């Protein structure tokens, strides 16, 4: 299904711009009019990370006149494996500023507008207003639902992408362009249970996958802005990098969708953190009074070494994570073993169980399972191995 162009053409292209965009101009579908539309376009990219990096680079190279960047984070060394808009000299620099400088090197004719604050219910409308299109490169469910809802209320189409390990997804959500077109909630009415889907920081992502999905997002953005081709609104692109396989599934509008359905119940912005949850209610309840600090754990480990106490320290991360860093004396039993019940047979019944993960989310989830199995004195380590490396053993790498 084709749509009218989102943007009217700019008045003209300069001689320098004609030279710069000549390979676009000789494509009949784009031509002078399409390039003028790109020049006149205002696109907001949410995040200058894995997906935002290639998206921003190619939107700038394509000649999108105004690029907004909503990004509050700073560049970390671990970002450089996939966030190609940043370099070594940008470490500790605000990502938005780093991206702006890279864009200036690619295309000085692009105006960059920085939104360096974290998006929330108080500012999302003011940040979104005035843009023709949004490219969503967020990496958490709470922000994705907020972006979807805010874009729907403001009637701004947006291009969505998601990546994890070797798998990527992309779609266009634009119910304002057609009565039968779905929104993100039509595809995913409810977020997954907290802790069920690991983040890229927990599960990893193949760096080049970001370029694959980010390029799809830019391709769809150009089609929408210029009114050419058949955008993937109402479709879901699924990419498996290991099998080098693309699939396209139809996504139908859900008549009972809480946002865009016939009897909508979401009529304004909601508490998205509560809706998605950092941890489940069960995990939060289990962690109350059963969370220790890494300083306490260090003291406990010394007592164990001296024979003054005995307990089992369980690392619930994946084996490849434990190869990067570890807390000495921990036994590795991945979270999945607790979910399928196999881990309980590996735990002694006469010792206290102490659990840790990377940051404390997965260990809280497994703590709830262990307590439910009768280990009433079980605890988990708040902050996990990240806190351990930061406060106790900075000689180990972070990830």
Q: Classify 160 as helix, strand or coil.
A: strand
Residue 29's pLDDT is: 96
Residue 399's pLDDT is: 82
The string of pLDDT tens digits covering residues 314-332 is: 999 999 899 999 999 999 9
Contact by Cβ (8 Å): 291, 333: no
Please check the confidence at residue 278 and state whether its pLDDT lies above 70: no
Q: CA-to-CA distance for 85 and 334, rounded, in angstroms?
A: 34
Please check whether the domain covering 281-392 is classified as CATH 3.40.250.10.
yes
What average pLDDT does range 10-37 have in this prediction?
98
Residue 196's pLDDT is: 60
- Comparison of pLDDT for 394 and 199, the residue scoring more: 394
Q: Is 186 a catalytic residue?
A: no
Question: Which is the catalytic residue, given 183, 186, 200, 257?
Answer: 200
Please check the confidence at residue 1 and state whether its pLDDT lies above 80: no
Quick one: how far is CA 210 from the chain centroid?
11
Q: CA of 282: how far to CAs of 62, 193, 368, 375, in Å?
A: 48, 11, 6, 15
Question: Which is the catalytic residue, given 210, 257, 260, 357?
Answer: 357
Average pLDDT of the chain, as a whole number: 94
Percent of the chain with pLDDT over 90: 87
Please check the confidence at residue 117 and state whether its pLDDT lies above 70: yes
Of 27-41, 53-67, 162-176, 280-294, which gets the smallest average pLDDT?
280-294
Question: What are the boundaries of each domain within the chain?
Answer: 15-276, 281-392
Exposure letters 296-333 (e unless 16+ CB within 10 A, then b):
ebbebbeebeeeeeebbbbbbbbeebeeebbbeebeeb
The pair of three-digit structure tokens given for residue 291, joined into one six-digit string: 């969370």
> Which residues neighbour 26 within 8 Å (Cβ) at sequence distance 6 or greater?
none
Q: CA-to-CA distance for 51 and 214, rounded, in angstroms?
A: 5
Q: Residue 227 CB: number of other CB atoms within 10 A?
A: 17
Q: CA-to-CA distance for 110 and 103, rounded, in angstroms?
A: 8
Q: Classify 58 as helix, strand or coil.
A: helix
* Fold held by 15-276: Rossmann fold (3.40.50)
Please check the confidence at residue 198 and state whether its pLDDT lies above 80: no
The string of pLDDT tens digits covering residues 16-28 is: 999 999 999 999 9
Q: Is 200 a catalytic residue?
A: yes
The pair of three-digit structure tokens given for residue 29, joined into one six-digit string: 């579908």
Residue 193's pLDDT is: 64
Residue 273's pLDDT is: 81
Q: pTM higher than 0.75 for the full model?
A: yes
The string of pLDDT tens digits covering residues 54-109 is: 999 999 999 999 999 999 999 999 999 999 999 999 999 999 999 999 999 999 99
């Amino acid at each position: 299904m084709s749509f009218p162009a989102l943007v009217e053409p700019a008045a003209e292209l300069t001689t320098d711009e004609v030279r710069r965009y000549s390979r676009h101009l000789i494509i009949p579908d784009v031509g002078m009019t399409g390039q003028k539309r790109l020049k006149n376009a205002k696109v907001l990219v949410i995040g200058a990370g894995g997906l935002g990096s290639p998206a921003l680079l190619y939107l700038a190279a394509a000649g999108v006149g105004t690029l907004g960047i909503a990004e509050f984070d700073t560049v970390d060394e671990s970002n450089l494996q996939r966030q190609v808009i940043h370099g070594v000299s940008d470490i500790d620099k605000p990502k938005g500023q780093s991206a702006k400088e890279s864009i200036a090197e690619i295309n000085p004719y692009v105006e960059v507008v920085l939104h360096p604050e974290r998006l929330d219910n108080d500012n999302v409308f003011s940040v979104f207003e005035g843009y023709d299109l949004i490219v969503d490169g967020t990496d958490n469910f709470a922000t994705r639902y907020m972006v979807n809802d805010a874009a729907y209320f403001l009637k701004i189409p947006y291009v969505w992408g998601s990546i994890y390990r070797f798998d990527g997804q992309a779609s266009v959500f634009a119910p304002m362009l057609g009565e039968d077109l779905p929104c993100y909630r039509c595809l995913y009415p409810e977020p997954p249970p907290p802790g069920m889907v690991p983040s890229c920081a927990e599960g990893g992502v193949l760096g080049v996958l970001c370029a694959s999905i980010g390029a799809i997002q830019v391709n769809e953005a150009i089609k929408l802005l210029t009114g050419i081709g058949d955008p993937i609104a109402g479709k879901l692109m699924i990419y498996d990098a290991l099998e080098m396989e693309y699939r396209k599934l139809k996504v139908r509008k859900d008549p009972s969708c809480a946002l865009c359905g016939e009897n909508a119940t979401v009529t304004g912005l909601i508490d998205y953190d509560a809706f998605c949850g950092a941890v489940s209610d069960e995990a939060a309840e289990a962690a109350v009074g059963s969370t220790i600090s890494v300083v306490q754990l260090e003291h406990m480990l010394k007592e164990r070494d001296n024979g003054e106490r005995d307990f089992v320290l369980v690392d619930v991360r994946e084996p490849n994570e434990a190869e990067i860093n570890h807390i000495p004396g921990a036994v590795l039993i991945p979270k999945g073993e607790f979910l399928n019940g196999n881990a309980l047979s590996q735990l002694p019944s006469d010792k206290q169980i102490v659990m840790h993960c990377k940051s404390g989310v997965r260990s809280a989830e497994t703590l709830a399972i262990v307590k439910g199995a009768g280990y009433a004195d079980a605890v988990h380590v708040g902050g996990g191995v990240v806190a351990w490396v930061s406060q106790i053993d900075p000689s180990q790498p972070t990830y």
